[in-house]
């Protein structure tokens, strides 16, 4: 009896410390406190679930630096038959081991959706570490479908993860492995800047040109094709990049031929143009 009285006394004190009003009757008090306890536990569990299910968002440029295996999609027959060049934007979910666990098309042509998804699901990333622990992340990848030798293609915004190039014959063929643009940039030993075309200058044309390059075992550029950019800037960009040289890319300790994209920026010097006009 004494014990039950003590328990009742302690319970009453606990109720007095609650930061919200409770009903006056004892039975209602007990039910009210029980309900509030259940709600508190549920909220804590929900917060824990939300915290554990949250996924880190990585920019395409950040994610591309982690991409170690990039399968190139097959050019779809519909695209070949109808002469379609396309940009396919895909969202990816990557687990702690660097495997693509889910992929969805965000933008593009319906005929290119399945080949794109089939390819990216084979990609492999290095695990992304937060406080030395691997975590899941989400990102997007842009896949460009192009014809060799074409200068008529859709414009691109953002980095390209992979390019599916169709030869002039119209028949898909085996190609050397593709590497990230940051990898090519890191191996570049001689860069020749392009001459700004006078026609482009006079028309105030500027912007970025993206080119698809083949680099042989000695580090020489053997082929260059346009992927994106203003037509007035393409010849100058291609002529410059053909003169670039790279440190040979190695796989298994041996130099190998690789392909990838490079970016050539064209920017007008606004201050120089202003000074020139003032002199005139």
Model confidence over 21-77: pLDDT tens digits?
Answer: 555 555 555 555 455 555 454 555 455 444 445 789 999 999 999 999 999 999 999
pLDDT band at 6 (very low <50, low <70, confident <90, very high): very low
pLDDT of 243 > 50? The answer is yes
The residues, any chain, with a CB within 8 Å of residue 224's CB and separated by 6 or more, are 211, 212, 213, 214, 238, 241, 242
Cα(86)–Cα(76) distance, integer angstroms: 11
Per-residue pLDDT, averaged over 254-272, amounts to: 90
Q: Where in the chain is the domain with CATH 3.30.2420.10?
A: 55-170, 176-280
Question: Which pLDDT does position 89 carry in this prediction?
Answer: 97
Place of tokens 């028309």: 203
Residue 214 has pLDDT above 80, yes or no: yes
pLDDT score of 93 more than 70 = yes
Q: How far is CA 136 from CA 70, 100, 233, in A?
A: 19, 10, 40
Mean pLDDT on 265-280? 67
Task: Give yes or no for residue 113 having a pLDDT over 80.
Answer: yes
Whole-number mean pLDDT of the chain? 85
CA-to-CA dists, residue 186 to 60, 108, 189, angstroms: 18, 31, 8
Q: What is the mean pLDDT of residues 150-176?
A: 87
**Residue 32: per-residue pLDDT:** 53
What is the fold of 55-170? TolA/TonB C-terminal domain (3.30.2420)
Q: What is the pLDDT of residue 151?
A: 83
Spatial CB neighbours of 274, under 8 Å, sequence gap ≥ 6: none
Q: Which of 46-55, 145-154, 165-174: highest mean pLDDT?
A: 145-154
The reported pLDDT for the residue numbered 11 is 46
Helix (H, G, I), strand (E, B) or coil at 253: coil
176-280 topology per CATH: TolA/TonB C-terminal domain (3.30.2420)
Q: What pLDDT is recorded for position 173?
A: 79
Under DSSP, is residue 261 helix (H, G, I), strand (E, B) or coil?
strand
Q: Evaluate if residue 268 carries a pLDDT over 90.
A: yes
Say which residues have a Cβ less than 8 Å from residue 109's Cβ, sequence separation at least 6.
Answer: 79, 84, 86, 88
Residue 60 has a CB neighbour count (10 Å cut-off) of 17
Q: Residue 93: what are its φ and ψ, rounded to 5°?
A: -115, 130
Please compute, for residue 279, the number of CA atoms within 13 A of its CA located in the half-sphere on the CB side.
6
Whether the per-residue pLDDT at 138 is higher than 60: the answer is: yes
Looking at the predicted structure, is the pLDDT value of residue 152 above 90? no
DSSP 65: T
pLDDT at residue 242, rounded to an integer: 98
Please say if the pLDDT value at position 167 is more than 80. yes
Residue 206 has what pLDDT? Answer: 96
Is the confidence at residue 251, as pLDDT, over 50? yes
pLDDT above 90 as % of the chain:
69
| Average pLDDT rounded to a whole number, residues 190-218 | 96
For residue 114, the model assigns a pLDDT of 97
Bridge partners, 254 (sequence order) = 251
Asked if the model's pLDDT at residue 275 lies above 60, the reply is no
Could you say which DSSP state residue 178 is in?
A: B
């Amino acid at each position: 009896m004494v014990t039950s009285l003590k328990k009742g006394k302690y319970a009453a004190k606990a109720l007095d410390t609650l930061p919200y009003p409770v009903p006056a009757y004892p039975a209602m008090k007990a039910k009210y406190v029980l309900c509030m306890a259940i709600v508190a536990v549920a909220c804590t569990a929900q917060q824990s679930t939300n915290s554990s299910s949250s996924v880190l968002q990585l920019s395409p440029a950040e994610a591309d630096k982690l991409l170690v295996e990039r399968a190139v999609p097959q050019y779809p027959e519909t695209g070949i038959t109808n002469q379609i060049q396309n940009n396919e934007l895909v969202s990816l979910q990557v687990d702690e081991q660097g495997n693509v666990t889910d992929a969805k098309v965000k933008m593009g042509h319906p005929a290119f959706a399945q080949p794109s998804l089939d390819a990216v699901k084979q990609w492999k990333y290095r695990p992304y570490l937060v406080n030395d622990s691997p975590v899941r992340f989400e990102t997007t990848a842009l896949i460009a479908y192009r014809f060799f030798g074409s200068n008529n293609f859709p414009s691109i915004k953002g980095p390209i993860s992979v390019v599916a190039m169709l030869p002039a014959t119209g028949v898909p063929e085996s190609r050397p492995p593709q590497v990230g643009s940051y990898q090519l940039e890191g191996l570049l030993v001689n860069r020749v800047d392009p001459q700004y075309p006078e026609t482009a200058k006079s028309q105030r044309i500027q912007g970025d040109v993206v080119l698809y390059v083949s680099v042989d075992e000695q580090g020489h550029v053997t082929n260059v094709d346009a992927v994106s950019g203003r037509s007035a800037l393409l010849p100058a960009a291609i002529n410059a990049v053909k003169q670039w040289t790279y440190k040979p890319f190695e796989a298994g300790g041996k130099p190998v031929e690789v392909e990838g994209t490079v970016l050539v920026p064209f920017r007008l010097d606004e201050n120089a143009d202003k000074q020139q006009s003032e002199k005139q």
